[in-house]
Structure 1
Amino acid sequence: MDTATNHTSDINLKAHQYYFNRELSWLEFNYRVLYEALDSRTPLLERLKFSAIFCSNLDEFFMVRIAGLKQQEEVGVTQLTPDGRTPTQQLKDISDRLRPLVAQQDQNFEYTLKNQLVAHGIYLIHYVDLNQEQRTYLQDYFQDHIFPVLTPLAVDPSHPFPYISNLSLNLAVVVRDPDTDKELFARVKVPNVLPRFIELPKELKQQQNEKPSIWTGVPLEQIIAHNLEALFPGMIIQECHPFRVTRNADLEVEEDEADDLLLAIEQELRKRRVGKSAVRLEIHASTPENIKHRLMQDLGLEDMDVYEVEGLLGHKDLFYFMSLPCPDLKDPHWNAVIPPWVKHIYYLRKENQNEDIPDGTDIFSVIRKQDMLVHHPYQSFSATVQEFITEAAYDPNVQAIKMTLYRTSGDSPIVKALIAAAENGKQVVALVELKARFDEENNIHWARQLEQAGVHVVYGLVGLKTHTKTVLIVRQEEDEIRRYVHIGTGNYNPKTAKLYTDLGLFSCREELGADLTDLFNFLTGYSRQKSYNKLLVAPVNMRQRMIEKIRREANHCREGASGRIVAKMNALVDPEMIETLYEASQAGVQIDLIIRGICCLRPGIEGVSESIRVISIIGRFLEHSRIFYFHNGGQEEVYIGSADWMTRNLSRRVEAVTPVEDPAIMKELQEIMGIMLSDNRQAWELMPDGSYVQRRPEDDKYEQSTHNTLMKMALKSVRME
């Protein structure tokens, strides 16, 4: 033991070779998403969906991460990342890794998925392959529905190159003037107010072996491209090539200078729409070099910024096909179950339409007896979290509701409940995070509506995003005030609660209520609360407390006992947390990490991380919950909350992680993690070289899919009641 200790103490755990690059690790995550589109075991329309998600993820990656690296490069940043790369090196390495992935996505759709769609009666036809009847119909459709919306923009000395909006699909058109024989250049934007795919009427659909088509249609841009004579009468159309532009879309708000954060962010959103610098150009592989270079020059881009494909641009529009009535080509439909403990309350409230509910038949009476855990999307969000807030809004004994809103849906019942609570005379505080990326506009809208209803709306702390997922309800009960809490891992969003896996704890433990009271005072007032009874709060004490718990496991091992950590999160990036995990591994702690996305820790390195295993679960639901387990010499501790082990979560965001103290709930959370660690269908294992290998069932073993297993368990729980 002493020899091993001496050997490991000589290792510099900050050395570059022990860290993966954040951006390249994210690309590996997005490849795992793409693989669901490549995997023949995935239902066909779900494969299109995953191709769309891969594209949508890449759009955001370029708008934020690539844009940030380019800005660093422009101002001459030379600081190395923990893995030893400069911004310029990262941009090159990203380009080298990403190009084969884009090509793989392109070829998979063009040569595999489209053929399989045809086999099921779904025809996405190229315009040149249409028969004359179909062309005639689309020419008339163009004149009636498309032509009035189009605006051709000439580019010449008197018409400067037009602004190309972010993520827009466009046509670069070259025409020849027959009078002067001069070639002219123009841009036509493919309008996003029209559907990307135009369906042909029933009588013009394709047929195969006398079997009618489910859907037959053509991409919108091809219809425009083959009817350009209407836009340029008297001109000869020489050529036409589609292209797509991605721009820097991150917000830059100097909060110290902003007297009104709401107005400041509204101004930045207008700038985002007006536009910042381009960061990517997507074009068809057949685009001539002169057109390509003209676009590059006008957009201020280099070869590294250009991505060529052979087929469709903008795969995120493939989401469209999920609306087709083809249940056999999709995952089986899932309806979240209503947990037995809340079922009678939920239906009673629906029957009584928010009228007074008899004592003892409300959600608070259940939570008074014991803590409750909910797991979405396996268990219903509307019947639990939404019910909790709605019941509080109408309960005459509830005096105050305080909650954080990071992201919520456009027609949120949660927001409606808060408005009703304010109208019912309750003290209502909503902390709306205006800086929730790409949800800023939605949050501004709801913030104004809440304010108009009398809700106290707070926009958080300068320099910190409020990412915590918490609700505090203050209720008068006989001669005492009792506080009820919900502390979760996910946003209060009914729509994403059907797609994201998240956990939430309901409790009326006095110490948690006191902690949330202090936390909301910290968020809304001038409190500088530094200590909490139970909660781990970032940026106050979470980093320090998590490190202490990891080191405690290491000390148990050094003293001859065992050490065990299982941690589930979205991303592991923070160098200090990684170094602490390395130290624990060197001491002999067995560590399992379940990390959906970015992981900068390198597992399986002799003398550094031999006892660390990392897996990623990718499937029909987006893994979003955070769970932390520490063996603690047999005195086990389990925590859930909103924070990943990223520097931004631990140092630049307000986060809350709560201990779970109910033995039954602790056991349930351990079972959830055990199911994931045993997965041989959706689990990918991280190798020491940074690659991921998908687990497959051995010949004599059944396929064990995390999401399928948890759905079956949820159904079983309601059948047994």
Structure 2
Amino acid sequence: MPSSSYINRELSWIEFNQRVLSEAQRPEKPLLERVKFLAISASNLDEFFQVRVGGLTLLKSAGSRTKDIAGMTPLQQLNAIRKRISQHITDQYTLYTDTLLPALHEQEIHISSVNAVDPSLVDNLKERFIEEVLPLLSPIAYEDTSKDDDAFPAPILPAMTLIVACELSIKNKAKSKRVVFVPITEIIERFIHIDKGSARYAIPVEDLICHFISELFPSESLHSHGVFRITRNGDIAVQEEDAIDLAGEMEEVLSARKTSNTVRLEVQSGCSRVIEKVIKQVTLAAPEQIYRIHGPLALSDFMQFAFIPGHDTLKSVQWEPQSPPSIDYANSIFDEISKKDIFLYHPYHSFDPVVRLLEEAASDDQVLSIKQVLYRTAKNSRIIDALIRAAHNGKQVTVLVELKARFDEARNLLRAEELQRAGVQIVYGVKGLKTHAKITLVIRKENNSIKRYCHFGTGNYNESTAKLYTDASILTAREDFGTDASLIFNAITGRSKLLQTKRILPAPTHMKKRILQLINSEAARAKAGEKASITAKVNSLQDKDIINALYNASKQGVKIRLNIRGICCLKPGKRNEAKNIEVISVIDYYLEHARIFQFYAGGKKLTFISSADWMTRNLEKRIELMVPIVDKKIKAALTEILDAAFLDNQQAHRILTDGDSQRVENKKERFRMQEHLQATAEKAAKTQTRKRNTTFEAHKPHD
């Protein structure tokens, strides 16, 4: 296929983030929900610069002219990104300044400077600044090294942190001017909140610092100031070929990120020329890396306004996770899994059954062993607590902690040390690969034989994100699934060759090959005049081989429906190879995260859940799992989820030929996928509660 048949990955991602921002632009949405989506779009953009722009910058610096599947070199991609991102940032700040800020003021939520608040509040603000902010500030003096060889080297300023640059001089001595940097560490709250009557004022801490600068430098005057933020390259990988101590190597990677090259410099408008010149000298930012921002920096910090107390009418109605109707909590979780496969679709279904499996296993005398892969975990994790308790109770506990989970490396290092101290056998991933599989195996002795209980999922073992991300998972005691789980763990922890599995399809050894076989089988059926279809839900589609196979299947007449939240390098349209492909993206209250694949297969409807997206990195460079669904009821539930996305006329966007998006138009009959799935979960839970309340079960004598 020519490069014109594909969409550039980075530009496709920016269009995804534009869809996120579009949720903040919708006037019918509750105000604080709109603020939340604006903050999410800013947070997404921060990571994009750290990782994707960081990686491309390294390639450009190395002189690489290798083209991506869309035919663009690293330099061409960086130029295209800057042009598109500049418009994206303009959209963010136009929305904030012209719409959201005035709307917040109307609701008496005032994001204000000290000068704009009621004068009666200034003394209170000064007192709070002295008590809450001042003790945590650590100013860094700057010396111009270009004029003095003996001067101290330029300071290394922290990344992703607001920094106030102040031009000061001793009072009445104008020639004594100097520049001082005041970093605002993450332990300092971004806003100082203060109430007066029904009004709430939120004062940015950077404004407080400038207003009360005399408390920090009592003998000096402030001539000018500027607020800026540095984004450094976060795409720094451990050199595994030379790594003897992987944990130690990861600590070096974390340290290297603190001093890596600048990939973005944000400077708040109004910054004086003197201050901006100094900032450029210190950060070594190239002109094309500088973004002048007309508004407050770090809009991601505005997420806190979505959760301020009160103002419930300005927030979306909170949906509550439901108890899965297939589980009777009066029984042991092992008894429930033994009866049938249990399907969970979080967060419509509570994550509690997964946690309960581990907590019950930790104290169950019949449990011999627990094995689990941890990629990202919650801050205060009940799962970690259960694993520690299991080890203390004498269980054999083996945990693979993936240290290469980007931006979670530090937390995972601490978690691994904590588990290791408790006696848990720790494995630090697999050399050359990231372990992204979501799998738990509990081995129990029952009736003098071994029985295996498994959990397979599409999302992380993280109780916090399980309330925010949609993910599918199953709990099963099927013998063949348990056997495969043991083989997979033995291969991962023992670093041995993975033998042929019966059911589970792992990457990088089997998954991609099987997906291509399934796509090509549908193409062959369509060519023979049979009904053929593919429906898939993934976060991203980038792998060229998968895209080409889908194009070929489309040409043969296969009906292909793709629900892709983020990156989509496949180019839809009326061309012959794409005419039978429909691509939509759903952006809503929950982050769409589940990966579900279904192939018509002559009416058998082969259905899978997976930890992997259809990206080359997932299919060829990570340990991932694709799990077939055997139970007919679970298969039907997944089919309903897949179909619901294509009925959505409230939150769905259609991906266009150029990679841009178009919101699916409202029809007479309103349908919102997430709302429908929540209502379905609530109805099923209520029905099951009524059934249990009206069913009487007699105790039977034991044999």
Query: TM-score normalised to the size of structure 2?
Result: 0.94
- Equivalent of residue 189 in structure 1, options 159, 183, 196: 183
Matches within 5 A, 1:129-148: 129-148=116-135
- Equivalent of residue 433 in structure 1, options 402, 414, 424: 402
Preserved contact between residue 225 and residue 272 of structure 2 (Cα < 8 Å): no
Q: Distance in 2 between matches of 1:196 and 1:600?
A: 37
Matches within 5 A, 1:243-282: 243-273=228-258, 275-282=259-266
The 10-residue stretch of structure 1 (135-144 or 395-404) with the greater mean CA deviation from structure 2: 135-144
1:117-147: per-residue Cα shift (whole Å, max 9, x none)? 1222211112232343222332333333333
Paired position in structure 2 for 1:387? 356
CA RMSD in angstroms, aligned pairs only: 1.6
The 10-residue stretch of structure 1 (642-651 or 426-435) with the greater mean CA deviation from structure 2: 426-435
Paired position in structure 2 for 1:292? 276
Paired position in structure 2 for 1:337? 322
Report the AA paired with residue 112 of structure 2.
I
Report the AA paired with residue 640 of structure 1.
I
Matches within 5 A, 1:296-307: 296-307=280-291
Q: Distance in 1 between matches of 2:274 and 2:80?
A: 27
Are positions 1:169 and 2:162 aligned together? yes
Are positions 1:327 and 2:312 aligned together? yes
Are positions 1:43 and 2:26 aligned together? no
Report the AA paired with residue 459 of structure 1.
Y
1:535-570: per-residue Cα shift (whole Å, max 9, x none)? 111001111110000000000011111210001011
Q: CA deviation at 1:231?
A: 3.2
Q: Distance in 2 between matches of 1:316 and 1:218?
A: 16
- Equivalent of residue 676 in structure 2, options 686, 690, 709: 709
Q: CA deviation at 1:297?
A: 3.2
Counterpart secondary structure, 2:66: coil
Q: Distance in 2 between matches of 1:150 and 1:636?
A: 61
Are positions 1:150 and 2:142 aligned together? no
The 10-residue stretch of structure 1 (226-235 or 316-325) with the greater mean CA deviation from structure 2: 226-235
Q: Distance in 2 between matches of 1:393 and 1:151?
A: 46
Report the AA paired with residue 193 of structure 2.
E
Preserved contact between residue 117 and residue 201 of structure 2 (Cα < 8 Å): no
Unpaired runs of 5+ residues, structure 2, are 145-150, 689-703
- Equivalent of residue 220 in structure 1, options 205, 208, 219: 205
Q: Distance in 2 between matches of 1:90 and 1:620?
A: 31
1:182-206: per-residue Cα shift (whole Å, max 9, x none)? 5432222234322111122x4xx2x
Q: Distance in 2 between matches of 1:506 and 1:418?
A: 18
Matches within 5 A, 1:224-239: 224-239=209-224
- Equivalent of residue 336 in structure 2, options 354, 366, 371: 366
Give the ranges of 4+ consecutive aligned residues of structure 1 lying more than 4 Å apart after TM superposition.
none
Paired position in structure 1 for 2:17? 30
- Equivalent of residue 553 in structure 1, options 519, 522, 534: 522
Q: Return closer, same or farther for 1:414/1:152 CA change in 2, 3 Å cut-off.
A: closer
1:579-605: per-residue Cα shift (whole Å, max 9, x none)? 111111111111000011100000124
Q: Return closer, same or farther for 1:226/1:510 CA change in 2, 3 Å cut-off.
A: same
Report the AA paired with residue 466 of structure 2.
A
Preserved contact between residue 376 and residue 460 of structure 2 (Cα < 8 Å): yes
- Equivalent of residue 422 in structure 1, options 391, 410, 414: 391
Query: TM-score normalised to the size of structure 1?
Result: 0.92
Q: Distance in 2 between matches of 1:155 and 1:141?
A: 28
Q: Distance in 1 between matches of 2:602 and 2:622?
A: 31
Preserved contact between residue 430 and residue 495 of structure 2 (Cα < 8 Å): no
Are positions 1:91 and 2:78 aligned together? yes
Preserved contact between residue 530 and residue 540 of structure 1 (Cα < 8 Å): no
Q: Distance in 2 between matches of 1:691 and 1:260?
A: 45
Q: Return closer, same or farther for 1:262/1:159 CA change in 2, 3 Å cut-off.
A: closer
Q: CA deviation at 1:661?
A: 0.9
Preserved contact between residue 453 and residue 477 of structure 2 (Cα < 8 Å): yes
Matches within 5 A, 1:229-628: 229-273=214-258, 275-325=259-309, 326-345=311-330, 361-382=331-352, 384-628=353-597
Report the AA paired with residue 559 of structure 2.
Q
Q: CA deviation at 1:574?
A: 0.6
Report the AA paired with residue 171 of structure 1.
V
Q: Distance in 1 between matches of 2:256 and 2:499?
A: 38
Preserved contact between residue 62 and residue 279 of structure 1 (Cα < 8 Å): yes
Q: Distance in 1 between matches of 2:449 and 2:66?
A: 57
1:500-553: per-residue Cα shift (whole Å, max 9, x none)? 000111111111111111100110114212421111110011111100000000
Preserved contact between residue 327 and residue 342 of structure 2 (Cα < 8 Å): no
Q: Return closer, same or farther for 1:287/1:471 CA change in 2, 3 Å cut-off.
A: same
Report the AA paired with residue 546 of structure 2.
M
Paired position in structure 2 for 1:642? 611
Preserved contact between residue 282 and residue 313 of structure 1 (Cα < 8 Å): yes
Q: Distance in 2 between matches of 1:429 and 1:139?
A: 53
Q: Distance in 1 between matches of 2:50 and 2:7?
A: 22
Q: Distance in 2 between matches of 1:145 and 1:472?
A: 47
Q: Distance in 2 between matches of 1:568 and 1:338?
A: 24
Counterpart secondary structure, 1:436: coil
Q: Percent identity?
A: 39
Q: CA deviation at 1:394?
A: 1.8
Q: Distance in 2 between matches of 1:414 and 1:131?
A: 48
Number of residues paired by the alignment? Answer: 680
Q: CA deviation at 1:629?
A: 0.2
